[in-house]
Structure 1
Amino acid sequence: MSTMMLPFFGFLTRSFYIKMILVMLAVSIIPLIVLSYISISVSSSTVEKQVNRLNAQLVNQVVDRIELTMSRFRELSEQYSRISSIQSALVSPSSQYFEEVVRKKDLISVLSTASAVIGNVEGLQVYSNITGEVLSSDEAPSTLERSPFKPLIQEFLAKGQSSMFLDKSSHPELKILQNSTYYIGRIPFEVYEDMRGVLLISMNNAQFQQQIENIQLGSLGSVSLLTQSGVTIATTSKLERSQDDVRTRSILAHWVSLGKPTQFEMDTSIISVKQTKTFDKWIVISEIPSQELTQSADIIRKTVTYFLLALVTVGGLSVIGFGYQLYRPLQAVKRQVDAIKKGNFDARVTYFANNEIGDLGRMLNAMAVRIQDLLSEQQESEDMKRKLEIRALQSQINPHFMYNTLNTIRMFAMLKDYDNINTLMGKFVSLLRYSMENYDQNVPLQQEVDYLQDYIGLLNMRYKYQTKLHVDIEPPLEAMYIPKLSLQPLIENAVFHGILPKKKAEGHIHIRVYTQSDDASTVIEIEDDGIGLDEAQLEKLRVHMQQEQLGENIGLKNVWLRMRLMFSKEAQMALFSPSDQGLLIRFLLPPDSVRLKEVQHEQL
């Protein structure tokens, strides 16, 4: 039995999987237990601090709402006291009864519209200091003596202020103040102008109740809005009104005795108190009993305990499963590395994890594929080099060109034109020497251009049509290396398929070589002014250039393949043929592929 257990224990001591599981359990579960203990230990103080902070924020938000409402009262009073339709209605009665009725009707319409637009006010009233009438947005016009707003208007007129705020604590005996709050302002609002009347804006206290009634502070907590004298405007307390008044007076007395702090403890509750800074000086009280805090702390302790047990169980199982998910792709990568080490590049990782190990497996697969592709490309490149070398040798001197040149020399000999014979023979010998004696497959650009000058010179002597070769090469690109005889087939095509068929006395071929300023790529352009190609022929030629077979257009295709072999597959070729303007062939060579100095070149 012990003999059978030894390999197993050896596996346990050596296995990366077992060690990883133990480390992950220690790293994940032990801190979780410590964190749970700390959470349970500090839950009570944390809950209390958070509740205090939230309680203070709650009081500040309610105060901000109240101050915003009161500031809005003042702004509305100033705004509507300046409305021309209201001021124009506060004038002496007209002798025309109909005009007076229309003026009052317009004023009441303005007040009704304003009340509807504002939305949360109870109504708007205007007292005319000239006629002694009170016009309202929701009541029939009446004299001041018969108006329920008489005490408010008289007090305002007696004080001589530009505005005044009145709530239920201002005149407890007035029923009109029991359910509403009023802001009163003069018309016009500026004190340096003669007063024409008074504007009253009323708001039902139920609006303030709506602002606080959705605030939840537990079954025993409450928020109360009081006047400066301690009269309740709105409250969420579930106590009877008399009991709630005793509670609020006791809180205010304790608050004043402590120097009016923003937060304090009283009996078994946490109290937050804040007084508004606007003209109303209302007071907001928020009370949260300690019993609510105790219940919250108990809930946290139980919740943390249950979650700790659940997380430890789930965490242990997850660690084991996660460890296996890491171990499995690691083994697959190990097998892949062993296969590549032995030269088996067909081996592949078949299982990929969604992590760095999976990325490593994908990279190993890509590396194996890339190695196979490189080996295949190397073989294809060698085959292509041999084929292109044969093609290049075949295209060095066209036999027909040689026969025609010799025949031209014979004709000049019969005419005894020894000067032309000498010129022809000189150029012809130069062509033969360049094509046959120069065994380098890559030559400087200037050397290729010199060869083209001799070639064009021979053609001009053979045909009555003259071809002009224009060369514009940007220094120092004259020294760049290109495949030997790579431009001659293009010049030959330009002459015989473009310029001669056009049947003009003179044709032009432009060779331009320059460096692009944006990406430092080298551009080689060969352009003629021959007949060019129509769109269908041009598109057919472009498609043929993308194919691997040589087929027709051997010269152009051979040049393009040799260019790609020398300047990498990033090299590009473009064909353009504007209508009746010849053909433009453009090669775009990558900047790092152009060689200017004479070095040991690779053979194509």
Structure 2
Amino acid sequence: MRAFLFKSNIYRRLVLFFMLVGIVPMVLLSIASYRITQTSIHDKAEHYSTQLMLELSDSIKRVFLSLENTAIDISYSEIIQNYLLDYSGMSIAQRRNSRNDIRMSIALKTSLIREITDVYIYLPDGEREVLYGEDGYKFSLKENYEDEFVHSIFDAGGKTVIRSYSGEHQLDNIRRQQDTEKGIENCLLIGRLVRELDSGDILGVIILRINEQILSKRLNNIDLGRDAQIVVTDSSDRIVSSTNLMTFPISNILKKGLTIAQTHSINTEPGLRYQSDEHMVLQNNIDGLGWSVICLIPYSFLDNETYMNFRNMLILLCCICVIMVFGIGVFSRRISKPLTELVDAMNLVKAGDLNAEVKNESRDEIGQVTRNFNGMLAQIRKLVENVKNKEKEKRKAELAALQAQINPHFLSNTLNTVRCLAHNQKAENIENLLISLIELLHVSMDTREDFIPISKEISYVRSYMEIMSYRDYGNFNIICEVQPELEDSLVPKLILQPLVENSLIHGLKDKKIGGQIIIRVTGDKSNIFISVTDNGQGIPPDVLPTIIQSEKMHEEVAYTGIGLSNVDSRIKMLFGSEYGLYVDSVYQMYTTVEVVLPNLKGEMLNDESVNS
């Protein structure tokens, strides 16, 4: 990617740039907007569907309650009670007449519930009487299913039992064919015990057969969108009723993790595939029945409008890309042409033509670069002339430096000759003075060593003090105290002499007798502390805080020309700001200058901090 950016032309870079800062964010924004809108629609659809399912569950519960009340009303009606109590003593004709009366009574009681197709009563002796419905072609269940249902009614005591069944539970006879033609093959069965009002004895079992349309009408009245499905299942997880004649096996839904429990809550399971489409699945349990209402809403319906908006936005982005590529082509040519001229001029300069200037009067950045390039060429031509002149001056300086290097050696040789004469003439004071002077001169001339042992630095200080004692007629003395283990530690060359010279010139200048300078060298494995103390006039309190930076301390001293400020700057430059000089003084009593240095040995001179 990096190689492509640096090797490609401006046009490709601009296309890539606008795609990164324009198209890519718009695509990401479109995707994010699509996802947010999709999630919002799903949440609202789920909330709306949940409310409808709760209302539908309450409606179904009210239907079952109405059917249960109807069954209770029929079983405890006076005409049914009398019929069952007098059944054994009635003739066939009396029973027929009573059943006709009962049929009329039931017809009145069920006039508002037209889905009740049959009413049967099972007598204690096992006989079954048709109280309501067709006498000619009786409705008949398969024996095992019928027996199991009747036994469940007895097991329930006085409670009403609701059961669903399909054509597979019905005997294959003419009545079943009629029911199939009428579309009432799936039905509900409601049964309960009939007890004598006074004694509570069981008189029989009453069963009502209800057309499944009593539920499907309510399901079809709810519109959840195109291809949405609503399913009612019984406690055995079998579909009792559904919209659009749905035959989807409920077990597939349950495998997705939904369970039918005796709770009044909504469970949601997205992602179920039904008829090659993913559906949002919501399930609610009907209180007290063990039945459930399950809703399947296809995501294709929920996402249709959002998808259309997303597709239109992508088409718009494609149109923008085409316009952008064309515009970038025009724009890049306006930039690349002056840049090409500038590159050609640079190539001429590279070949040695320093007069290859470019004309560009535009006020944009490229015009500014061009003007800067022309100015740079003018500066280069001027610098070339300066370099030529400086080369001539450099040759002259080298000759002068060579001559200056010869003069100190000549002076040293001359002083050695004078020392030999002084020795031959027994002038010991002059000989000693010359020895000290020659030693100091060698220190100044030696450029090979920047760091020397402390013992050698003390030796140089003694030589310097030897010379100064002849000037001041021995009015002072010097004391050196060095820890033995620190004598081989390395310090910057000529670091102590300026401090001793400062004590002589500023501290002891007015002290005629009794002047004293004490040099102490202490330390540990990490640091070295060198203090130079004189018993001179001291430093006034108002001057002490800024003594190292004061103008007086910037004055060059006699021999080295190095003041306290220069020594402090030199140490900090070599070792860092935590090292340097620290001054302590009591006016008219003493002055102490302490030098803090790292404890360096010979093998440590390669350390980067020292070399830098």
Larger Rg: 2
TM-score, scaled to structure 2: 0.38
Q: Which has the higher contact order (CA 8 A, sep 6+)?
A: 1
